[in-house]
């Protein structure tokens, strides 16, 4: 007989996950208008109040290239300040339980993170990134892979000296928007390289929505066979074809228990236009329609995880409320369906019931809860041709 217990079919599948929020970094970097410091602080703080404990709050790269984050110092300073600490204490949250991350693709950004740390407002964790496709890596960093690995090794050591952890990202795992197909084995090897040079954890990224569920399951199974420590691995899925939820499920089945997402499914390549001015960004966009290049939506992901019965630590309704507020900030309809349709309620929606069923049951002489005619056998008897052959 078929095994019906999902966790017996997939014994590595977790019953508890951690979901990080990267809305105000990856989400806002894609938008072509500047969002106020107050807005960035509001959404990050409210996500923390809703249960987030791993959050990316800014990018410490050059403000000339990515002016969306010209207020990085102010945002980081707020989350080290008394006002935030007091709000956490009032809500029963330990500020030290929250990991604040800043993206630092190049060494100058790492140096900036270190200086901010010395000032008492720096991030807990920073992030550098390699792509298994040399062309994609060069487009993002301007270096060869060998040059970058040496740079990352230096950065990890000096960041560790001031107490900053390094996340090493591996990109183009399931394909590159520039050169096409890539080898999964290369990404496994790059993961090992990151750990070899001292990275704290690894973000496994599908930055352009190339992944399919079958290949996600295969890859993360390979990863956990090679490095069987789920706490080290973080899955990052973009949503370009409406299949990212299938990728998340495949990653869960393989044993991954850390994910990240953005409210409304925002995110993508850094904007090359801000307000009324062209900016450097990372060059020309490699997508046709900017509405369909973000991450899996935080709202929909949480509803999915919640309805699977997996523990996640969030107040889902509060996150759905926050997602609806973000649509006003962004000034357009975003990609979350759960914000509009809510969760599947076990108690149903009694307000949609048609009146009169109880009276009809009584009128025709049936019992409350009766679902088949009284003279029918129970259980059902299948015709001979449909019965299991022994």
What pLDDT is recorded for position 357?
Answer: 95
Per-residue model confidence (pLDDT) at position 349: 85
Rounded distance between C-alpha atoms, residue 374 and residue 390, angstroms: 31
What CA–CA distance (Å, rounded) separates 371 from 195? 59
* Axis crossing angle, helix 298-307 with helix 244-254, rounded to the nearest 10: 50
- Residue 229: pLDDT band by 50, 70, 90 thresholds? very high
Q: Look at residue 149 and tell me whether its pLDDT is greater than 80.
A: yes
**Phi, psi angle pair for 278, to nearest 5°:** -65, 140
Q: What is the pLDDT of residue 277?
A: 96
Q: Average pLDDT in the 364-385 region? A: 94
Looking at residue 177, its pLDDT comes to 85
Using one digit for the tens of pLDDT, what is the confidence trace for 341-356?
988 888 888 888 999 9
Rounded Cα gap, residues 362 and 179, in angstroms: 69
Closest by CA position to 108, among listed 163, 66, 55? 66
Q: Which tokens is 367 given?
A: 């019992």
* Superfamily name with CATH number, domain 13-341: Aldolase class I (3.20.20.70)
d(C-alpha 297, C-alpha 112), whole Å = 30
CA distances from 355 to 312, 345, 370, 372 (A): 38, 21, 18, 21
Mean pLDDT rounded to a whole number for the chain:
95
Helices and strands in the chain: count of H runs, count of E runs: 15, 10
pLDDT-based confidence at residue 251 (cuts at 50, 70, 90): very high
| Closest listed residue to residue 175, CA positions, set 148, 208, 197 | 208
Q: Percent of the chain scored above 90 by pLDDT?
A: 89
- Reduced to 3 states, what is the DSSP secondary structure of residue 234? strand
Cis preceding-peptide flag for 379 (omega within 30 of 0): yes
pLDDT over threshold 90, residue 242:
no
pLDDT at position 30 is 94
The answer to whether residue 293 scores a pLDDT higher than 90 is no
Write the DSSP string, 119-158: TT---SEEEEEEESSHHHHHHHHSS-HHHHHHHHHHHHHH
C-alpha 282/C-alpha 59 separation (Å) is 13
Using the CB atoms, write b or e for 209-241: b if 16+ within 10 Å: bbbbbebbbebbbbbbeeeeebebbbbbbbbbe
pLDDT at 42: 98
End-to-end Cα, the chain, rounded Å: 12
Model pTM score:
0.94
Domain ranges for the chain, please list them. 13-341, 358-386
pLDDT tier at 207, thresholds 50, 70, 90: confident
Percent of the chain clearing pLDDT 70 (strictly above): 100
| Angle, alpha carbons 119-63-197 (nearest 5°) | 65
Strands 277-278 and 273-274: antiparallel
DSSP labels, 374-386: TTS-SS----GGG
- Give the model confidence (pLDDT) of 277-290 as tens digits: 999 888 888 777 87
The pLDDT of residue 156: 98
- Non-local (6+) Cβ contacts of 18 within 8 A are 53, 54, 257, 258, 259, 312, 313
Give pLDDT, residue 283: 82
Q: Biggest alpha carbon distance in the chain?
A: 82
Q: DSSP H helical segments within 31-183, as ranges? A: 37-49, 72-78, 82-90, 107-118, 134-141, 145-161
Beta bridge partner(s), residue 127: 103, 167
Taking each helix axis from N to C end, the angle separating 213-226 and 184-196, rounded to the nearest 10 degrees, works out to 40
Q: Which residues contact 155 (CB under 8 A, 6 or more apart)?
A: 104, 107, 110, 128, 166
């Amino acid at each position: 007989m078929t095994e019906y217990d999902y966790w017996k079919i997939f014994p590595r599948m977790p019953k508890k996950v951690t979901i990080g929020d990267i809305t105000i970094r990856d989400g806002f970097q894609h938008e072509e208008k500047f969002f106020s410091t107050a807005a960035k602080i509001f959404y990050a703080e409210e996500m923390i109040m809703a249960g987030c404990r791993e959050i990316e709050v800014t990018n410490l790269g050059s403000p000339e290239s990515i002016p969306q984050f010209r207020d990085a110092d102010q945002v980081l300073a707020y989350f080290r300040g008394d006002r935030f600490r007091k709000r956490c204490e009032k809500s029963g949250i330990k500020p030290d339980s929250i990991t604040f991350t800043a993206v630092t693709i190049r060494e100058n950004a790492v140096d900036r993170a270190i200086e901010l740390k010395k000032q008492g407002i720096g991030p807990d964790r920073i992030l550098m990134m390699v792509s298994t496709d040399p062309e994609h890596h060069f487009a993002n960093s301007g270096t060869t892979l060998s040059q970058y690995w040496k740079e990352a090794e230096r950065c990890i050591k000096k960041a560790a000296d001031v107490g900053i952890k390094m996340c090493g990202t591996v990109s183009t795992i399931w394909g590159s928007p520039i050169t096409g197909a890539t080898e999964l084995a290369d990404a496994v090897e790059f993961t090992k390289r990151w750990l070899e040079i001292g990275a704290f954890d690894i973000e496994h990224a599908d930055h352009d929505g190339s992944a399919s569920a079958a290949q996600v399951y295969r890859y993360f199974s390979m990863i956990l066979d090679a490095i069987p420590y789920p706490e080290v691995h973080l899955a990052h899925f973009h949503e370009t074809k409406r299949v990212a939820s299938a990728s998340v499920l495949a990653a869960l089945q393989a044993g991954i228990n850390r994910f990240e997402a953005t409210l409304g499914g925002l995110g993508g390549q850094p904007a090359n236009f801000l307000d009324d001015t062209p900016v450097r960004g990372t060059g020309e966009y490699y997508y046709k329609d900017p509405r369909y290049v973000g991450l899996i939506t935080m709202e929909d992901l949480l509803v999915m995880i919640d309805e699977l019965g997996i523990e996640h630590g969030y107040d889902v309704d509060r996150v759905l409320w926050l997602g609806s507020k973000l649509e006003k900030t962004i000034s357009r309809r975003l990609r979350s369906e759960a914000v509009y349709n809510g969760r599947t309620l076990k108690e149903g929606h009694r307000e949609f019931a048609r009146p009169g069923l109880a009276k009809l049951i009584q009128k025709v002489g049936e019992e409350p809860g009766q679902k088949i005619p009284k003279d029918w056998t129970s259980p059902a008897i299948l015709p001979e041709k449909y019965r299991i052959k022994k």
